[in-house]
Chains A and B, each alone.
Chain A
Amino acid sequence: MTKVYVSSVIPAPAAEVWKLVRNFNGLPGWAPFVVESRIEQNAQADQIGCIRSFTLKDGGRIRERLLALSDYDLSCSYAILESPMAVENYVATLSLTPITDGNLTLAEWQAEFDCAPDREAALMHQIGHGVFQTALTALKHRFGR
């Protein structure tokens, strides 16, 4: 089992950041590498078990199932069903925590997955840096920094 963990400080109150990221169908609105997204079978985006299918800038397609969404903990977990990355048992969680000092937000994004040992380092970098950190940096800029 490989684990990836990335975190950033977002310069906005947690409730405000959560409004944006809780939308399971909203990645194109803030993640720079996603061009288009839809929820399969006309489900609601906050219905546990729904599947989002989105297209990456490079043309790749990913399908992910919503496993958990908590408006109380400000966290969202999902699993990959299909992707161009050779990963198995991939489960990720994006969560927000208020930082009372300055009314900021700690955003954490972590994933666990299985993969071929020789691909591990490259995948950790691709997911940790290319996906999670890139998206969190975009989130920071969106809220003014």
Chain B
Amino acid sequence: MVKVCQSTIIDAPVDEVWAILRDFNGHDRWHPAIAFSEIEGGDPADAVGAVRHFRLADGGELREQLLALSDKDHRLSYCLLEAPLPLMGYVASVRLKPVTDGNATFWEWRSEFHPPAHRRDELVRLVAEGIYQAGFAAVRSLLRRGNLGTPVEARPSRAVAAAMPSASVPRVVSTLAPGQAATTRAIVVGRYGGPEELQLREIALPQPAPNEVQIRHTVIGVNFIDVYCRTGFFDLLQPPGVPGMEAAGVIAAVGPAVSGFSVGDRVAYACPPVGAYAERRNMAPELLVHLSDDIPDEIAAAGLLKGVAASFLLHDVHVVKRGDIVLIHAAAGGIGQLLVQWARHLGATVIATVSSDDKARIVERLGAHHAIVYSRENFAEAVMRLTGGMGANIAYDAVGNDTFAGSLAALAVRGHLVSFGQASGPVGNWDIGRFASRSLTISRPNYAHYTDTPEKLAPHVGRFFQALRQGVVRVEAPTRYDLANAADAHRDLESRRTTGALVLLP
């Protein structure tokens, strides 16, 4: 049996720190090692006995059970049920104490477990440093971020806040008006499948939890990732569940532990967890973005996810520079249109592929130097011809199966293929040895990994809104569907009949 005990002082009131730590399902929002967490069986996260199932950034999966939770003592205990490491009999507890002299918090995190003898030191160090000390640092920086004034429109606000009123952080607590039904209309995926699985239902809508806000949606964004959630290609949605990761709306109620948001604030988001295809929803405000007056709801709902994605694709996954030759597939689609305009602004030569002459005219109007109708000609050959045999420096490909091989063939020496979707199907298996013939780089970015903390998200939101204001990119008025007709929106999106963005109106 080994015991590990780490403790620190956090420069924030105990209630503020407790609001973060008591959420047994909230550790994925602050701990750097944890990518995703959910409570099994839909239990509340503060029900003793609840099991959290979470995934580490490195892919490992763990299950832990809540054994004790005390708001009186600011203490919780949990044990490990399953882990990729031999932390046998691991029982841990977290406890907080107020430091009355200065309004700070003492935080102790301790555990006992039986490691195999030969891995004892390694596992003790992993727990003490990789989990506990890293957690201290993450909560400290989460609180610090929350206390800094950042530009309003680019502020994914802090997840937590004072349970005690504070002079510097205005706090509004509101509840739904009496008589307002505790249900909401939502599109529910009852099982993975085709568009017909998107069914309108009346679902329960509880009061927001202490660390959540309730949003009344005004416009809901439709994205191809919603199709992947509906079909089960991504496991972000577990049936029965409400799809959708993007919307704009108005704050309708604020949990008592939330600060930085008031009833009536205009907000938008483009992030998991799913649940946007609804009139109203509750969610943690960490990745919510305040909307300034010059950003209409419809543009935010139609553009935020795509704009943020375009921002990290062009500035982070690959830094597009003046003179680069950029190949963009599905260029008349939602993200495609943004990539064309923005890459052109960055000084790149833009070669766009589209499925029809009408779409070719659209992308030329947006600034593409060349538009290739790929149903009519081999786009890889066309790229080689247009570049004098050199090829493109970078290809943005969300089409997948139909274009992947062609995209590789269209690249220059040391070219970079960014595969960020598979609208036509998975790209299959490739022998990376073949890429040596031109020293190619392949990236497969995942939206969440570039946007799942306020820290990662804020620069992209700020950059996108700035690009909108300066006219660098324009988000065209989206095609509108009633929320009830979400299935039609998915059918149209999948059939490639659409141009630009699609939105649902609740």
Contacts and interface: CB of A to CB of B under 8 A. Distances in A.
A136 B101 contact: yes
Interface stretch (A3-11, A22-30, A60-68): A3-11
Contacts of B7: 97-101, 106
A133 B101 contact: yes
Contacts of A9: 9, 99, 101-102, 104, 106
Interface of B: 5-9, 97-102, 104, 106, 108, 133, 136
A98 B107 CA distance: 11
A101 B133 CA distance: 8
Interface of A: 5-9, 97-102, 104, 106, 108, 128, 133, 136-137
B6 A100 contact: yes
Contact of A101 (B8, B97, B99): B8
A5 B74 CA distance: 15
* Interchain residue pairs A-B with the least CB separation, the first 8: A101-B8, A8-B101, A106-B106, A99-B7, A100-B6, A7-B99, A6-B100, A100-B7
A136 B99 CA distance: 12
7 contacts: A6-B101, A8-B102, A9-B101, A100-B5, A102-B9, A106-B7, A108-B97
B97 A7 contact: yes
A131 to B, nearest CB: 13
Nearest to A99: B7
B299 to A, nearest CB: 46
B136 A7 contact: no
A128 B99 CA distance: 13
A99 B8 CA distance: 5
B101 A7 contact: yes
Contacts of A101: 6-9, 133, 136
Which secondary structure dominates chain B's binding surface? strand
A97 B107 CA distance: 11
Contacts of A133: 100-101
B100 A106 contact: no
Given A5-B100, A9-B101, A106-B99, 10 more contacts: A7-B106, A8-B102, A97-B106, A99-B8, A100-B6, A101-B7, A101-B133, A104-B9, A106-B97, A108-B97
Contacts of A5: 98, 100
B100 A99 contact: no
A97 to B, nearest CB: 7
B130 to A, nearest CB: 15
Contacts of A98: 7
Contacts of B133: 101
A99 B9 contact: yes
A99 B106 contact: yes
A128 B8 CA distance: 24
Nearest to B98: A7
Nearest to A6: B100
A137 B106 contact: no
Nearest to A136: B101
Contacts of B97: 7, 97, 106, 108
A128 B196 CA distance: 67
A102 B10 CA distance: 12
Contacts of B6: 100-101
Nearest to A104: B9
B99 A8 contact: yes
